[in-house]
Structure formats: structure tokens, C-alpha cells
Structure 1
């Protein structure tokens, strides 16, 4: 029996599998070792995962997560998993590997993540062969929910929103500069906080000001994370994540401006990952 986790900074989808198929599934908050340490992750797993999977004793746990590219960050998550499942082997991989396996299968392509955060890689059908630098929430994450949230909040605080949007924003969030600054600079998970404002863009996407903002944010992603790959126009490009999925119509429009061929767009890679590991179990 194996346990698979696909974790972003906001939520984690879990699947428990055996050789016959799916046994159970669960949903918890997201984990990111840049913001959480081993005891914090372990305690959250004990409080929210174990009650959903009573008696589960997987022999292996495959965790694909945001912020898990460096070994020291992988070790933080692995230690938490072993505290919760002491008899299991813990395998921690970057969420890009999950995206590439779920989106490209065994074919070459560009795999992109557009959720709370953003990232991309060039995949040769078996492994990631190139990954453009991702600078995280503060310096990068172009096109992500956090990035879009920052743009709409900046426009609100700088009095740059059209009057109708400014009023709608005020009535919806009842917030101000001090509260926003406190959440961004003093409280944990500023990326999650900012990503929450992306829903405002989704709800007002037909407004010309918002539509242009969405296009600009997505265009920034293509500029930083897609068109720098060699021969990108000749390769199939795939996307996974809530931002890619819910803005998929605008995403395809912006992609055409860069000559990018968008193929698969998924909200989550968990189903593709389940199929991948299910095949390994039956071998």
C-alpha cells in the first residue's frame, strides 16, 4: 500500500492506493518547508490527515510538494512524514515532477504550474531536463494567484482601480492598508493570503481593467517561465493549477500571442499521479 500526496502552498490532495486500486482519499491544507518546520507539518498531519485515513499503514509515501526542490527542504518534509508513518519509506519530490508526470506522461513537453505559486520545466518524457529559476512569492511567481493578488491589492491601495471596482473591493473585503501590511509582513503564509484576492479578479474578469490585469500577469509568466526554453514554439505546453484552470480561456488567448501551443490544462495533477503509481504497483 502506498500513499501519494500532491501539495501546493494552499492545499494537499492525498490518495491511498494498493495493487487493486484506490483505497481512500483525503484533503488537507498545503505544506511548504520554506514556511513550516518539521514539528509544524507533523502536527498538522496528525490533526487533519490521520482522522481521514484511520488505520492507514502505507509501506511508502510519495510526497510531491511546493518548495521541495532542495534536499534540505525535502528532509524537513520527510522527517514529518516518518514521524506520522514510522514504518514507511518517505520519498519527497518537487511539485514540478508531479506536474511533468501528470501532464506529459512519457512525452516531451513544457510543464507549467499556475496555482498559489508558479513554476515551469522542460521535460524529456522521463525526467526534468531544464527548470528556469523560480524566485518565489517575493521576487517572482509570475502569473500565480499570489502574483495576481498582489497586483489587485496594489491597485486598490494606490487608488488606481476604477471607482466601481474600488467600491466592489471595499464592500467585499472591508480591509485597509494596515490590515493588509500586517498580513503580508507579520503573519505566516503571505502567499496564501494574497492568492485569496485572485478570486476578485475571477469574479470581475469581464471588466476591461481586470481583464487587462489578468492578461498582463499571465503574459509575465510566459515572458519569465516559457519562452526562454529552446524551441518553445515547437513543443506542447501543459498547465496545472487553479489559476490555469479557472482562467484557461484567457490563458489560451495570451499563449497565442507568444506562439505557444497549449494542450492539457488540469486543476490538479493527483489523478495523473495516481495512474502513474498504480501502474508501478501492478508491475
Structure 2
């Protein structure tokens, strides 16, 4: 049997492909080897769902946040080996998950637009080029943190429509001091800034909110997609909640930039299941 995982810092989507082709699923806690040791991950992985499969899994394909570096991949692999000592285990990062889920075995450009952002040029088998992922302070164009940061800047400087500002105050009870406390003093500032994107999406009929997403997507294209060779002739696909719930704006920004949108999905796990199902 094959076990597939798509893991972020907050949750992990698991899929099991049984020998008869049946698929079972489970959602559990997230893992990130930048913030957790191999031992900590192993403890949290020892839940009933995985323990019950310990003698049945032959192959594991784990895609996770923080898994680009070989040493981080080793941390996750060691944790999985405590439960599946006989399994063949492959660890890869979330860009590979996006490419495999959206492109399969065909070439294209795969993008992640969630809390953060990232992209790669994929030849149908391997990632052949990437752009720098500079993180939430220096990069993440098009991601939720990037949009939320602009929204909060405009809030502080009173550079947004008054009705939107009043609605934000009523919804979040925010002030400049509260915003600065969360951004500069509290943990996970990127998550905090990205948390305002649901509100912005709910109000995207307002030109101001529509424009926040539109410009963020244009910035993403300029820093990422348009830097890939022959990008105009390649299908471009997207994974992530920001792309999925604002797909209308994303498609408009892409059309205006000369970019061919292929598919837009919220999570890669279904596409990863199809990708690995071919191995049975």
C-alpha cells in the first residue's frame, strides 16, 4: 500500500492507496522540521490512524513545508521510520507537491499562493527552475501575508475607503497599537497578516479589496512567472487558498499579463493521489 502526505505547519492531509485501488483519507496535525525535532514529530505521528497501518505500508511519499533541505528531509524520514521501519520513504517539499498535483507528468509552471508564495518551472518529471522565495518580509508576493500587510498598512495610514475601515474595526476590533503588537511582538506575524484575507475576499466586490488582490497577483507574476523562459507558452497552475478563493481576480490578472492559467486548486492532496495511483 502507498501512504501519501501533504503537510504544512498546521495540518497534514494523509491518503492511503490500498492494493485494491480503494482510497482512505485522514487529516491530522501539521509538521515542520524547522520548528520540530525528529523526536517531537515521531511522538505526534504515533496516532491510531498511522499505528494501525504500520505493517501494511510499502511506500511513503511525504511532501512538506520546510522540507527543501536534505537535513530537514532526514528529520522527517527518521520520524516516519519509527512507525514504518520497512517502508520505502521519499521526502520532498511543497513545490514538488504543487507540480505533481497540477501538472502530473506534463510540463508547466506550478505556483503556490497560500499564506506565502512560491513557484517553479517543471518539465513533467523534475523541477528545472525556481525563483527566490524571500519570505514574508522580503517577498511572498501574491500570498495572503503580502495582501494582508498592504491592507494593514492602508488601515494605519487611513488610505482605504471609510466603509471598509469601519467594517474591519467592527469585525476585528483593531487599532494601530493592536496591529503593531501582533506584527512585531507576537509569534507567527505572517499568519496574523494573512488572516485578514478572508475579510478582504468577502468584500472583493468593493474596488479597493479587488485591487488589493489584483495588484498582489500582478506583483507575483512580475517577480516569479514572468522570469521563467518562454512563460507565455506554458500552462500555469496554482495551489493554495488565496488563489482558489480569488480565482476570478487571479485569472483576470493573468489574462492582462499574457499568462495561460491551467488549473487552480485549494489543496494538492487529490492531485497527488492521482499522480501516485499510477504506480500501482
SS in 2 for 1:133: coil
Contact 1:3 1:60 in 2 (8 A): yes
For structure 1, the 5+ residue unaligned runs are none
2-structure distance, mates of 1:83, 1:183: 38
Contact 1:118 1:144 in 2 (8 A): yes
Q: Which residue of 1 aligns with 2:21?
A: 21
Please identify, of 76-85 and 209-218, the stretch whose mean Cα deviation from structure 2 is larger: 76-85
Q: Does the residue aligned with 1:63 lie in a helix, a strand or coil?
A: strand
Give the TM-score normalised by the residue count of structure 1. 0.89
Which position in structure 2 is the counterpart of 1:93?
92
Question: 1:1-283, aligned counterparts within 5 Å?
Answer: 1-46=1-46, 50-53=47-50, 55-57=52-54, 58-280=57-279, 282=280
Q: Is the 8 A contact 2:105 2:125 kept in 1?
A: yes
Alpha carbon RMSD of aligned pairs, Å? 2.1
What TM-score comes out, normalization by structure 2 length?
Answer: 0.90
| Partners of 2:15 and 2:273 within 8 A in 1 | yes
- Conserved in 1, the CA contact under 8 Å of 2:2 and 2:17? yes
Deviation at 1:38, TM superposition (A): 3.0
1:130, distance to aligned residue in structure 2 (A) = 0.5
Q: Secondary structure at the match of 1:142?
A: coil
1:72 positional shift: 2.0
Aligned residues: 278
Q: Cα–Cα, structure 1 residues 37 and 117, in superposed 2: closer, same or farther, change >3 Å?
A: farther
- How far apart are 1:262 and its partner, in Å? 0.5
User: Matched residue of 1:217: which SS?
Assistant: helix
CA–CA separation in structure 2 for the residues paired with 1:40 and 1:188: 20
Q: C-alpha offsets along residues 224-264 of structure 1, whole Å, 9 cap, x if unaligned? A: 11000011101111111111111111001000111001111
CA deviations 1:13-42 (Å, max 9, x no partner) are: 111122222442111344333344434433
Gapped regions of structure 2 (runs ≥ 5) = none
Distance in 2 (alpha carbons) for counterparts of 1:139 and 1:263: 28
